[in-house]
Amino acid sequence: MAKKPTKRRAFNFLRSYYDVLNELSNDKDKLNFLLSILNKQFIDEDPKGLNFIVNICYESQRHHIEQSVNGYKQKMKTDLLGSPIEGGLIEHIEGGSIGGTQGGSQAPLVQEKEKEKVIYIKSITSPPEGVAPLYFYIAKGFHNLFLKKGETKTLNNASLTKWVEDTRKIIEVDKVPISQLIAIKRYWEECESGTRGTDNFWFNTINSMSSFRKVDKDGVYHYDKITTSVKKWLNANPELQGEIFKIEQNLIAKSNGN
C-alpha cells in the first residue's frame, strides 16, 4: 500500500483520546476511531462513513484534534502536505475550510434595524424575519427544555439574538453536528422525566447555549463532557438512533419551509 503524503512527523496523543477509545465496545469501532484521528492529524482528512456511535466519539474530541492541526499549520505556515497557506491561517479558516452551514442558506441573524431592540426568545414561537430558522428552532427547543427545570430571570430575559448566535457558533465554528445536539436534547428530556439510568448532572448544570462552549480549567469543553453520558445512553438504547435521524430530517425540512 502506497504511503499517504504528509510532512507532519508527530502529534500529541491525548489521554482523552484513550479514554474515549475505551468507551467503544468492539475492535472495529475502535479502529475506525483511531484511523479518523490519524488521518486528520497527518493528512487533514475529515472522517467519512462513521457509524453513529463512532462519529459521536470523534466529535467529542474534534476541538482538540483541530486545534492540534491548526496549530501545526500556524507554526509551519503550510498545510500538512507542505503547501504554503496563502493569506495565512486565519484567512484560510474563515475562507471555508472550517465551519459551513447546514439546512439551506442562512439569512443574517437579525436585520440592522432590530439590533438595538432586545427580543426575548421566550416570547417568540417562530423565527422572525432575518433570523436563521435552523438555529432558531434548535435554540428554542433547548430554551423550552431548560424552562421545565423552573423559570428564572436569566431564562425569562434570554436574548433571541444571543441564543441564536451561540447556536450558530456551536454548529459552524465548533462543527458540532445537528444530530448530536438532538441526541443531547433527547437524553436531557429523559433526565427531566427522571428516567432510570440517566445522569442529570449536566442537565442541571447547563442553562444556556453559550454554556456548551465553556472550557474547564483543564481546557476541556463542556460539550465534550456532556457527550460522554449521551454515548453511554445511546449504546444502551441503539433503537433511538433512528429516531434521532428522523428528528434531524424533520427539523431541516421545517427550517427550509417544507
pLDDT value of residue 118 = 79
Least confidently predicted of 68-72, 88-92, 171-175, 226-230? 88-92
**Rounded CA separation 204/149 (Å):** 8
Kindly list the domain boundaries of the chain, sorted by start residue: 1-98, 100-258
| Cα separations in angstroms, 167 against 112, 150, 213 | 20, 22, 10
**Between 115 and 148, residue with greater pLDDT:** 148
State pLDDT tens for residues 162-186. 999 999 999 999 889 999 999 999 9
**Between 33 and 4, residue with greater pLDDT:** 33
Q: Interior CA angle at 200 toward 230 and 252, to 5°? A: 45
Q: SS3 for 99?
A: coil
Q: Tell me the β-bridge partners of 159.
A: 120
pLDDT value of residue 2 = 55
State pLDDT tens for residues 83-141. 887 544 333 333 333 333 444 444 454 444 444 567 899 999 999 888 899 999 999 99
Q: SS3 for 158?
A: coil
pLDDT at 8 over 90: no
Q: Tell me the β-bridge partners of 78.
A: 84
pLDDT value of residue 86 = 56
**Rounded CA separation 185/109 (Å):** 23
**Rounded CA separation 121/156 (Å):** 8
Q: Which residues of 115-149 are buried (b: 16+ CB within 10 A; e: fewer)?
A: eeeeeebbeeeebeeebbbbbbbbbbbbbebbeee
Alpha helix positions (H), 8-87: 15-21, 27-43, 52-76
Query: Which residue, 202, 192, 201, is CA-closest to 222?
Result: 202
**Between 104 and 243, residue with greater pLDDT:** 243
pLDDT value of residue 185 = 95
Q: SS3 for 84?
A: strand
78 φ, ψ (degrees, to nearest 5): -140, 165
List of residues 6+ apart from 214 with CB closer than 8 A: 221, 222
Q: Interior CA angle at 211 toward 209 and 215, to 5°? A: 140
Q: Express as a percent the part of the chain with pLDDT over 90.
A: 40
Q: What is the pTM of this model?
A: 0.61
**Between 82 and 133, residue with greater pLDDT:** 133
pLDDT at 212 over 90: yes
